[in-house]
Amino acid sequence: MTFRLPDERVPESEPWRDHDFLWHCYHERGLPPRTIAFELGVETARVTVHMERLGILRPWRHEDTLRQLYVEQGLSADEIAARDEFDCTATTVRKYLSRYGLTSEDLDDVTYGRLDELGESESEPEQAEA
């Protein structure tokens, strides 16, 4: 019997491998992996690893999820990052799109841009005349 999870929702065998169950716990119930693991009586790492592999936790790292959103649905990196379940920047999405070969952008060219913009936005300080 679990405290935070209704017994009828918990799969009978290896619930930490069940995509729908983990999605429900994490996105709909708002339970962190540590709480899910405690309720199931397993290690936190076991739940976290499977949540990442299934694209539930850190979905921007999940190649199949990115392929579906970027290639099949035609969403931009900005649109993907703006989704509720994605808690990352568009630059992070672009980095993983490049890593998986889903975009022609070179992985080394994907930057956060802040350092590049800093040099352009700061004006040169005027030198005081002696």
Q: Classify residue 130: in a domain, yes or no.
A: no
Report yes or no on 108 lying in a domain. yes
pTM for this entry: 0.61
17 within a domain of the structure (yes/no): yes
Q: How many domains are there within the chain?
A: 2
Does residue 106 share a domain with residue 66?
A: yes
Q: Does 70 share its domain with 109?
A: yes
- Whole-angstrom Cα distance, residue 126 to residue 124? 6
- Give pLDDT tens digits for 44-84: 999 999 998 888 888 888 888 899 999 999 999 999 999 88
Residue 49 is predicted with a pLDDT of 92
Are residues 81 and 45 part of one domain? no
104 and 88 within one domain:
yes
Q: What is the pLDDT of residue 128?
A: 54
DSSP assigned state of 110 = -
Domain span including residue 49: 7-53
Residue 7 confidence (pLDDT) above 80: no
- Helix runs in 13-121, H state only: 19-23, 33-40, 44-53, 63-66, 77-81, 90-99, 114-121
**Within a domain: residue 34?**
yes
**Is residue 36 in some structural domain?**
yes
Report the alpha-carbon distance of residue 8 to residue 83 in Å, rounded.
29
Residues 71 and 101 both lie in one domain: yes
Q: What is the DSSP letter of 5?
A: S
CA 9 vs CA 2, 25, 30, 59, 118: distances in Å: 10, 9, 15, 23, 51
